[in-house]
Structure 1
Amino acid sequence: MAAKESSPLTTHVLNTGDGMPAGRMALSLHRLDSKLMIWTMLSVGTTNEDGRCLGLISPEAFTPGMYKLRFETGSYFETLGQTYFYPYVEVVFTISDPQQTFHLPLLLSRFSYSTYRGS
Structure 2
Amino acid sequence: MTTLSTHVLDAALGRPAAGLDVVLLDADSDRLETATTDADGRVRLATVVEPGDYTVGFGTGRWFAAQERDTFFPHVAVAFTVTADQPHYHVALLLSPFSYTTYRGS
TM-score greater than 0.5 by the shorter chain: yes
Q: Which amino acid aligns with 2:74?
A: P
Pairing of 1:1-119 with structure 2 (within 5 A): 8-32=3-27, 38-58=28-48, 62-97=49-84, 99-119=86-106
> How far apart are residue 70 of structure 1 and its match?
0.4
Contact between 1:45 and 1:56, CA under 8 Å: does it hold in 2? Answer: no
The question of whether the paired residues in 2 share the 8 Å contact of 1:13 and 1:21 is answered with yes
Please identify which structure carries the higher strand content: 2
Cα pair distance change 1:56/1:71, threshold 3 Å: farther
Structure 2 portions without partners, runs of 5+: none
Shift, 1:88, TM fit: 0.2
Cα distance in 2, alignment partners of residues 50 and 102 from structure 1: 18
Aligned residues: 105
**Separation in structure 2 between the aligned mates of residue 45 and residue 11 of structure 1, nearest angstrom:** 11
Between structure 1 and structure 2, the one with the greater Rg is 1
Structure 1 runs (4+) deviating above 6 angstroms are: none
Following TM superposition, by how much is the alpha carbon of 1:100 offset from its aligned partner in structure 2, in angstroms? 1.6
State the TM-score, normalizing by the size of structure 2: 0.94
TM-score (norm 1): 0.84
Deviations 1:69-111 (A, max 9, x none): 0000000101111000000000000011265211111000000
Question: Secondary structure at the residue paired with 2:24?
Answer: strand
Superposition CA RMSD, Å: 1.3
CA contact (8 A) 1:9 1:101 kept: yes
Percent identity of the aligned residues?
40
